[in-house]
Structure 1
Amino acid sequence: MEDFQPATTAEHLLWLLAQHGVEHLFLNPGTDSAPLQEAVATLGKAGVAIPKIIICSFESVALAAAHGYWQVTRRPQCVFVHVDVGTQNLGAMMHNTLRDRAGVIVIAGKTPYAEEPGAPGGRSHTIHWQQDVPDQAGTVRGYAKWVMEITRPSMLARAIGRAVQVATGGQPGPAYLMVSRDVLMDPPASELGRTSGYAVPRPPAADAETVRWIAERLVEAERPLLITAKVGRRPEGFLAVTRLADLAGVRVIDLAESGCLNISTSHPMNLLSAADGQRAVEEADLIIVVDTDVPWIPRFTQPRNATIVHIDADPLKIDMPMWTFPADVAVTADGATALGQIVERLEEAGHTARPEGTPEAPAPAPAPAAADGPITAHEVVTALNEVLREEDLVVEEAVTSARVLHEVLHRTQPATMYGTGTPGLGWGLAGAVGVSLASPGRRVVSVVGDGSFMFGVPTAALCLAAEADAPIMVVVLNNDGYRASRLPVFELFPQGLSAGRGDAEGTRFSAPPDFAAVARACHADGETVTDRADLVPALQRGLRSVESGRSAVVDVHIIRD
């Protein structure tokens, strides 16, 4: 509305977010959000466009959902949390946004400054003194890309424009803003401020000479290898990897822990198994590492005699203090853009087909024969292959079953696999809600471990799915414990008492919750599967629930190893 005149800074803030393309504000309210809540009502009545408000009952869930939305759309969304305590509840999801380079905007309230009687928005509760901490932003400073406090209405337009620009541009990441409620209640700036001119830099390309050099090395190489984790996050990256494999006979390691599909699982140059990947690293004479934090684990495998090219928006990895993987040529460039350039160079040189001798596509891994024993993770993924469509979206946080998911799940279309490949457990539920919110009409399936399910605050995540009208099916690979914490004990103490008894302290649940009952308590369908004959029918019922607009949890009890 051209004649829009906000009455408060809070109204101005909501208007600015909408003007910058922010579609959703994930709100966890507190005493500091009251001006925003009133502004929502006022602007709604006036017909002013603002972001859709989605209530969230826990802060980490809000941030995970905004992160999932970013993965699909590359458009930053906003999360509002309550002062220092709400900031702390963002927890490991803040780490995930840093490592996954997710563009999100977090706005946190700040303790009011005014305390005199009658001051609008001033201190009125005991907590307004208790929450006045020396360095609220310090909680996230090591993980936020940019931090700013809005202390006066006149700086609001520049702060919001800058937040969107910084969160989206370069290496995307979280922008963290703070604003007190008395500032939100202040009269707005006399002018609304500009909402254009905050240009986001285009993805950086490699220089022509470097592109030519890499293309020549690919033609000369006998055993070229491409290792990537996240170049397929954008469809053009997936297509560039595929084309490069076709043109130059490049084998591809699509790292399982990335939660991203970089090349079709049926492509003949995709090295699905971990053993094949380790051998390829050792045998390669040229390795191109693209958009990857950890291309291999030196403890298990290392290149022997390869020229190593590293392409990344930040090939120095300056936020990882001891990142020391070798590189003979480091290229500062967007991975998808640079690979596209290399493909174009090869095509200009006349390369149009794979070289002779390219292996045939690997046959799908056979499902283990049915037995009387517990269901295996392999069987669950095989059952998913039976019920999923090519266009369905899969969100992964399977932890120790991630390798099985990677090797067995059939995924052939770009942008049909999501995950973070980051350390913060508990993303898979709300992250899937964000993916669903950004993909209306698509079926979204989240595959998580039982530990991931509980870390994901399932009551908050499933209620968020209902509030946002973004249904998901959650498939829980339930082995009654923390296998990811048990295996390191066996690894470090192979002759120890824990390995001898096949268990480790603190990694088994003696009284786990009923996940299906949790689902039913949160506006979702819930079902427990212990018999393999029930597996496919249960998954089909869960997908029908999603199609009807209702979330579902299928809790599959798998082998406890």
Structure 2
Amino acid sequence: MDDFIPATTAEHLLWLLAEHGVEHLFLNPGTDSAPLQEAIATLGKAGVAVPRVILCSFESVALAAAHGYWQVTRRPQAVFVHVDVGTQNLGAMMHNALRDRAGVVVIAGRTPYAEEPGAPGGRSNPIQWHQDVPDQAGVIRGYAKWVMEVTRPAMLARAVGRAVQLAAGGLPGPAYLMISRDVLMDPPATEPGRRDRYALPSPPAADPGTVRRVAEALAAAERPLLVTAKTGRRAAGFHAVTRLADAGVRVLDLAESGCVNISTAHPLNVLTAEEGRRAVEQADLLLVVDADVPWIPRFTSPAPGATIVHVDPDPLKTDTPLWTFPVDVAVTADGATALAQIADELERTGHVPAVRPAPAVPGPAAPPPTPPVAGPMSAAEVVAALEEVLRPEDLVVEEAVTASVALHEGLSRTLHGTMFGAGAPGLGWGLAGAVGVSLASPGRRVVSVVGDGSFMFGVPTAALCLAAEAGAPIMAVVLNNDGYRASRLPVFELFPHGLSVAQGDAAGTRFAAPPDFAAVARACHAHGETVRDRAGLAAALRRGLAAVESGRSAVVDVHIARD
């Protein structure tokens, strides 16, 4: 380790994380983190580079922030939590990290093994018996890509190297590493361990024969449709999707993606949900790439004779027990890589899709829009105001739930990497995820659009505290409809003639006494403002953005129509 010799395994652990490129350690401390906290002070005084430690007052926001940072940088960060209870507090953010294939290393303490008097790091508090559970890793085993416990210092270097390698490589995902405080206090291994020999595999490419087959099918198709959700997470994916669109392939950019797969200004971008349903039904070839749910059979399905090509690093979706979408050609490949190969083959052969106009589907004539002047605001009006105040390079983080469609249909996003989302349904990601995006994008304005339910799920006091601790301000725009509309709509859907519809409400979906979100923001030293009048909406958003530019977070609580 050059001229530095660590005195404890905890010091070795911090050095290893930095050696493997981990820049931040999102720390929620507990009784088992004491050796790590002392090591931070010791290494800091010695001038040894270690990850920047960011205090997190709740575990779920720590993981969401690390997830957001990964989306921007594709570099895994570390989260430290307290034994089993801290692991449990990661909650739905573990689900999101699994489904969104987010590379992050979660390090959890373990109850000390030593009980004898004088044992360094041994048990010294009743909770260390209470927290000694039969299977701590079982709390998240179904959501972690890899699990290991470090039981002796000699295995630490290999375990950390493997954790970072697996988190970032192949199908990325969360790695879960456990280590007790008595092991952290042990003398370190003599073998330092370094980041070499833990190479990441290149993204898998499609075999040439399959590329030719898909390109020929695209060239022969009259109404090809590319359906994608997450290919645009990488710049190479955004570029590859655009190349296919430039060649005449329509693109359905699924709203669930939380990313920009293609510019909203591209003429072949299918912009509305209704148009997307028709496009699925009309296509004679569907190229499904990096999309977990390409369509919902309850509402739409491809034509019986349509050819369906599925490209995914795991086209069998082995972590989803019931995934039975029809597939004619399954391609195991990275989406961005395969689409670039297909575009290259089309250019090489001089073939372009034989695109024919889709048959017209008459719909009801829409009356000319008139700006509302009274009544509660709609989500679409808030999106229109955001469209007015945001710049193309601003970063938008989305957890708008039932307003997601309005956001994706009404907000222009023309640049790669200007839209983010959890890519999974675990609510509470939008605030701290935005902090992670901000931390990875210094100098950029970051705006998180969340529902009122999502705002509360996101532990706002902890998320705003994290933003201040990290120096990563965000503006949260709360679409406040006084309840859980996402939980009300299924009741209306399943019981269209029921009493709930007749009453215009469903049990357990209205907040009788909701918090004052602007006051919550001000209590956390952030700018807070409540908006009920559409005339003042744009000005309020500009004030929130000005706060972000000054280094201070903001919450703009916008009251919109309940339904």
Normalising by the residue count of structure 1, what TM-score does the alignment of the two structures yield? 0.97
Where does residue 263 of structure 1 map in the other structure? 262
Count, aligned residues = 555
Q: In structure 2, how many angstroms separate the alpha carbons of the residues matched to 1:107 and 1:499?
A: 47
Amino acid across the alignment from 2:422: T
Distance 1:96 1:218 in 2: 33
Could you tell me how far 1:19 is from its partner in structure 2?
0.2
Secondary structure, counterpart of 2:270 in structure 1: coil
Give, in whole Å, the separation in 2 of the partners of 1:88 and 1:56.
15
Report the CA distance between 1:121 and its aligned residue.
0.2
Q: Deviations over 1:459-511 (max 9, x none)?
A: 00000000000000000000000000000000000000001111000000000
Q: Which runs of 5+ in 2 are unaligned?
A: 360-366
Please tell me whether the aligned partners of residues 245 and 354 of structure 1 are also in contact (alpha carbons under 8 angstroms): no
Cα distance, 1:423 vs structure 2: 1.7
Aligned-residue sequence identity (percent) comes to 78
What is the Cα deviation at residue 235 of structure 1?
1.1
Structure 2 Cα separation of the partners of residues 504 and 74 of structure 1:
42
1:466 equivalent in structure 2: 468
Structure 2 equivalent of residue 290 of structure 1? 289
How far has the Cα of 1:368 moved from its partner?
5.2
Aligned pairs for 1:412-427 within 5 A: 412-427=414-429
Deviations 1:286-344 (A, max 9, x none): 00000010000011111112100000000000110010111000000000000011111
Measure, in 1, the Cα distance between the counterparts of 2:293 and 2:68. Answer: 22
Deviation at 1:350, TM superposition (A): 2.7
Decide whether the 8 Å contact of 1:16 with 1:160 is kept in 2. yes
- Aligned-partner SS, 2:118: coil
Name the CA distance, whole Å, in 1 between partners of 2:183 and 2:5: 17
Say if 2:232 is the partner of 1:232. Answer: yes
Amino acid at match of 1:486: R
Judge conservation of contact 1:515–1:555 (CA < 8 Å) in 2.
Answer: yes
Structure 2: which amino acid aligns with 1:470?
A: A
Name 1:104's counterpart in structure 2: 104
- Contact 1:71–1:435 (CA under 8 A) maintained in structure 2: yes
The answer to whether 1:219 aligns with 2:219 is yes
Per-residue CA deviation, residues 440-475 of structure 1 (Å, 9 max, x unaligned), is 010000000000000000000000000000000000
Q: 2: distance between equivalents of 1:283 and 1:357? A: 10
Q: Distance in 2 between matches of 1:185 and 1:211?
A: 54
> What is the CA-CA distance between 1:371 and the residue it aligns to?
2.0
Counterpart pick for 1:377 among 376, 379, 382: 379
Please give the alpha-carbon distance, in whole angstroms, between the structure 2 residues aligned to 1:347 and 1:200. 30
From the superposition, tell whether residues 318 and 108 of structure 1 become closer, same or farther in structure 2 (CA, over 3 Å). same
Match of 1:151 in 2: 151
- 2:525 maps to 523
Q: Is the 8 A contact 2:222 2:355 kept in 1?
A: no
Q: Which amino acid aligns with 2:131?
A: Q
1:26 counterpart letter in structure 2? F
The residue matched to 2:447 in structure 1 has which SS? strand
Does the C-alpha gap of structure 1 residues 94 and 368 become closer, same or farther in structure 2, counting only changes over 3 Å? farther
Report the residue type matching 2:449 in the other structure.
Answer: V
Is 2:481–2:561's contact at 8 Å kept on the other side of the alignment?
Answer: yes
Q: Map 1:104-253 onto structure 2 (within 5 A).
A: 104-247=104-247, 249-253=248-252
RMSD: 1.5
| Contact 2:252–2:269 (CA under 8 A) maintained in structure 1 | yes
- In the other structure, the counterpart of 2:34 is 34
> Within the alignment, does 1:314 sit opposite 2:314 as a pair?
yes
SS of residue in 1 equivalent to 2:32: coil
Change beyond 3 A, Cα 1:523–1:367: farther
**CA displacement, residues 247-301 of structure 1 (integer Å, 9 cap, x when unaligned):** 1x11111001111111111111111111111111111110000001000001111
Instruction: Give the distance between the partners of 2:240 and 2:282, measured in 1 at CA.
Output: 24
SS in 1 for 2:436: helix
Whether the aligned pair in 1 keeps the contact of 2:399 and 2:448 (CA below 8 Å) is: yes
Give the match for residue 88 of structure 2: 88
The alpha-carbon deviation at position 377 of structure 1 amounts to 0.4
Shift of 1:32: 0.2
Please, which moves more after superposition, 114-123 or 338-347? 338-347
The offset of 1:182, in angstroms, is 0.2
| Residues 408-466 of structure 1, C-alpha deviations (whole Å, 9 max, x = no match) | 01110011000022120000000000000000010000000000000000000000000
* Distance in structure 2 (CA, Å) of the matches to 1:94 and 1:222: 42
The question of whether the paired residues in 1 share the 8 Å contact of 2:19 and 2:194 is answered with no
Q: Distance in 2 between matches of 1:156 and 1:66?
A: 22
Match of 2:363 in 1: none
Q: The residue matched to 1:186 in structure 2 has which SS?
A: coil
**TM-score under structure 2 normalisation?**
0.97
| 8 Å CA contact retained: 1:444, 1:471 | yes
Q: Aligned equivalents of 1:204 and 1:316: distance in 2?
A: 15
Unaligned runs of 5+ in 1: 360-364
